[in-house]
Chain A
Amino acid sequence: MTDMMNQGVAELAQSLARKDFSSVEVTQAFLDRIQLHNNDLNAFVTITGEQALAQAKTADAMRAAGTAGPWTGVPFAHKDIFCTAGVRTACGSRMLDKFIAPYNATVVEKMNAAGMVMLGKTNMDEFAMGSSNETSWYGPVKNPWDRTLVPGGSSGGSASAVAAHLCPAATATDTGGSIRQPAAFCGLTGIKPTYGRISRWGMIAFASSLDQAGVLTRSAEDAAILLQTMSGFDPKDSTSVDLPVPDYLATLDQPLKGLRIGLPKQHFAEGLNPQVEKLIRDALAEFEKQGAILKEVSLDNSHLSVSAYYVIAPAEASANLSRYDGVRYGHRCDKPVDLEDLYKRSRAEGFGAEVKRRIMVGTYALSAGFYDAYYIKAQKIRRLIKDDFDRAFSEVDVIMGPTSPHTAFALGSKHKQKDPVAMYLEDIYTIAVNLAGLPGMSIPAGLLNGLPVGLQIVGRDFSEGQLLNIAHRFQQATDWHTRTPGVGAGTGMKGDH
């Protein structure tokens, strides 16, 4: 029975098709494993056991009747940012601690339609604002590779859960690096597709021009399966892109001969741990071995990406989060004396420190007299950052480099420190990708002192198929993505079910 816990989405689908075990059996096994490890890891904030078993039962019935799809009955988890009808959707916030979503996000509908089984909802930084999963109202998540370390954020619960084999895959979202950085810290494959590829409908908004859904898995093949299931045009999201979704699985094996890989010199500069750089260079050599060509490129304005982001994202957040007013849904303070008191105290009690800080930065940047100096300036820099990528992509097919300058850092080492900027600089290599709307991936590229290091791959608009192909070819030639942390009383993955 332990073996099923080590299978990914593709393998589980095959096992279910062969009737090695039923969906009910594998769902129960994962629920048991969650029960065993979640108290410590804090990766799940809601476990939907009863519903999961009911979904699994339906999946088994479909399989018996011959109406099952390829992924029917495979369990997974949703980041708690996606609205799930009838299930609490808290987004890591006290504000939504009692919020039972009245409808399903489009992503949730699509997973349901595929017959996949939701095990529960995963922990996250509050409103996805954080890079360590320490801003969650539900407490920090631990990194299964070393429980004194953060799993990364904001999709830290999803990353911890997949890395600890509490589920084979999980949905996630990425506004500035929230899929790629946790993927790097937890040794996972994570993909943030092009802005507009996956519907944002029912995905609780942080910064609407940057937010994009994606997945965390243990292989590129599994990422392809989930991305395929989640992607596509949605009339309910006005920024959803009306383009056909290519068959990502069909192109996974294409040879990489002649692939031109750009290495931004700014991503191999001061600040990068030299041992991380060495592992990244080793990974790049593997691509060269497969016939790819490496070429230095320059993203001249990348040093301003964090600055521009911390205007644009908080500005959008301050507008998006104005909906939490204590009137229609969400937290409401006790005994408000008047309407203003109701707003101010409900919001003060419902939001955590980091969320309040970003709302205030955004409010300031958008306020009269400062709008041009901050918001318009940041949008101009956004244009220059996009132009840098366009220039690079006229010379190369993809861009690669480290996902993060270092491996996972210690819980408490950056959060609640006096200066929040240290945490913001965590996303130094990932943030520009969101500003430009491009697809980005992180894949395991090695271990440094027993901790995973991630390789970032960035492509042109709508090149998800190519990114997955590149990642898959790398994973066929290396085994970094198969390395797992030992979870459970030091007995490793095998014996601790």
Chain B
Amino acid sequence: MALALKDIENIAHLARLQLSEAEKTEALDSITSILSMIDQMQALDTAGVEPLSHGFDASQRLRPDVVTETDQRDTLLKLAPNAAEGLFLVPKVLE
């Protein structure tokens, strides 16, 4: 299926990426080329094949449900571009 510029705009929105007009055109060309390489997969019949999500089919290990982390609020807040009074600051969400 051929991509159009509006598909690129939709993907960029879903991925929360702002693109300039030039970037959109570039993305359309390069992603179209990548998808045509990816579409080589479609030539192979994979009916009845189980998908593999991990090299040796391992499942996620569970650990006992106990608290292991210590409180690192201040350390982590120091990394924030904008924080105050123990909170991450963002532009106003509610009017």
Binding site for B on A (CB under 8 A): 99-100, 102, 194-196, 209, 235, 238-239, 241-242, 301, 303-304, 306-308, 310-311, 318, 322, 325-332, 336-345, 347-348, 351, 353, 356-357, 359-361, 363-365, 367, 373-374, 376-384, 386, 418-421, 424, 435-438, 461
Q: A126 to chain B: closest CB distance in Å?
A: 14
Residue pairs across A and B with Cβ atoms less than 8 A apart, 25 shown, are A303-B40, A304-B44, A310-B37, A325-B16, A328-B76, A328-B79, A329-B80, A331-B81, A344-B18, A357-B27, A361-B35, A364-B11, A373-B42, A374-B38, A377-B46, A378-B41, A379-B51, A379-B53, A380-B52, A381-B44, A381-B46, A383-B50, A419-B29, A424-B37, A438-B55
Q: B52 to chain A: closest CB distance in Å?
A: 4
Interface bracket on B:
35 or more
**What is the CA–CA distance of A386 and B52 in the complex, to the nearest angstrom?**
9
Chain A contact surface mostly: helix
- The answer to whether B38 and A437 have CB atoms under 8 Å apart is no
Q: A358 to chain B: closest CB distance in Å?
A: 9
A-chain residues with CB within 8 Å of residue B27 when the two chains form the complex: 356-357, 360
Q: Closest residue of chain B to A358, judged by CB? A: B34
- The answer to whether B51 and A376 have CB atoms under 8 Å apart is yes
B-chain residues with CB within 8 Å of residue A341 when the two chains form the complex: 91
**What is the CA–CA distance of A303 and B88 in the complex, to the nearest angstrom?**
47
Q: For residues 27 through 70 of chain B, which have their beta carbon under 8 Å from a beta carbon of chain A? A: 27, 29-31, 33-35, 37-42, 44, 46, 49-56, 58, 60-61, 63
**What is the CA–CA distance of A379 and B50 in the complex, to the nearest angstrom?**
8
- The answer to whether A348 and B79 have CB atoms under 8 Å apart is no
A-chain residues with CB within 8 Å of residue B51 when the two chains form the complex: 376, 379-380, 382-383
Q: A380 to chain B: closest CB distance in Å?
A: 4
B-chain residues with CB within 8 Å of residue A438 when the two chains form the complex: 55
- The answer to whether A360 and B33 have CB atoms under 8 Å apart is no
Task: Select B49's contact among A361, A383, A436, beta carbons within 8 Å.
Answer: A383
Task: Select B56's contact among A238, A340, A379, A437, beta carbons within 8 Å.
Answer: A437
The 10 closest A-B pairs by CB, nearest first: A437-B55, A379-B51, A332-B81, A383-B52, A329-B79, A344-B18, A380-B46, A348-B18, A343-B16, A380-B49
- The answer to whether A338 and B91 have CB atoms under 8 Å apart is yes
Q: A306-B37, A420-B33, A421-B37 are in contact. Are A209 and B15 (CB under 8 A)?
A: no
Q: A329-B80, A421-B33 are in contact. Are A345 and B18 (CB under 8 A)?
A: yes
A-chain residues with CB within 8 Å of residue B31 when the two chains form the complex: 357, 360-361, 364
B-chain residues with CB within 8 Å of residue A338 when the two chains form the complex: 91-93
- The answer to whether B79 and A195 have CB atoms under 8 Å apart is no
**What is the CA–CA distance of A12 and B26 in the complex, to the nearest angstrom?**
50
Q: A360-B31, A381-B41 are in contact. Are A195 and B55 (CB under 8 A)?
A: yes
B-chain residues with CB within 8 Å of residue A100 when the two chains form the complex: 79
- The answer to whether A419 and B33 have CB atoms under 8 Å apart is yes
Q: B30 to chain A: closest CB distance in Å?
A: 5
Q: A384-B46, A421-B33 are in contact. Are A310 and B38 (CB under 8 A)?
A: yes
Q: A312 to chain B: closest CB distance in Å?
A: 9
Task: Select A238's contact among B61, B75, B82, beta carbons within 8 Å.
Answer: B61
- B19 at the A/B interface (Cβ < 8 Å)? yes
Task: Select B17's contact among A196, A310, A330, A356, beta carbons within 8 Å.
Answer: A356
- The answer to whether A342 and B90 have CB atoms under 8 Å apart is yes
11 new A-B pairs (CB below 8 Å) besides A307-B39, A310-B37? A194-B55, A307-B38, A318-B15, A327-B80, A327-B88, A329-B76, A347-B17, A360-B11, A363-B15, A383-B52, A436-B55
Q: A209-B55, A308-B41 are in contact. Are A102 and B79 (CB under 8 A)?
A: yes
Q: B48 to chain A: closest CB distance in Å?
A: 9
Q: A239-B58, A377-B46 are in contact. Are A344 and B79 (CB under 8 A)?
A: no
- The answer to whether A435 and B55 have CB atoms under 8 Å apart is yes
Q: B17 to chain A: closest CB distance in Å?
A: 5
- The answer to whether A327 and B90 have CB atoms under 8 Å apart is yes
Q: B7 to chain A: closest CB distance in Å?
A: 8
Q: B6 to chain A: closest CB distance in Å?
A: 13
Q: B15 to chain A: closest CB distance in Å?
A: 4
- The answer to whether B16 and A307 have CB atoms under 8 Å apart is no
- B12 at the A/B interface (Cβ < 8 Å)? yes
A-chain residues with CB within 8 Å of residue B50 when the two chains form the complex: 380, 383
- The answer to whether B91 and A363 have CB atoms under 8 Å apart is no
Q: B8 to chain A: closest CB distance in Å?
A: 7
Q: A428 to chain B: closest CB distance in Å?
A: 12
- B2 at the A/B interface (Cβ < 8 Å)? no
**What is the CA–CA distance of A379 and B80 in the complex, to the nearest angstrom?**
37
Q: A415 to chain B: closest CB distance in Å?
A: 12
**What is the CA–CA distance of A338 and B61 in the complex, to the nearest angstrom?**
40
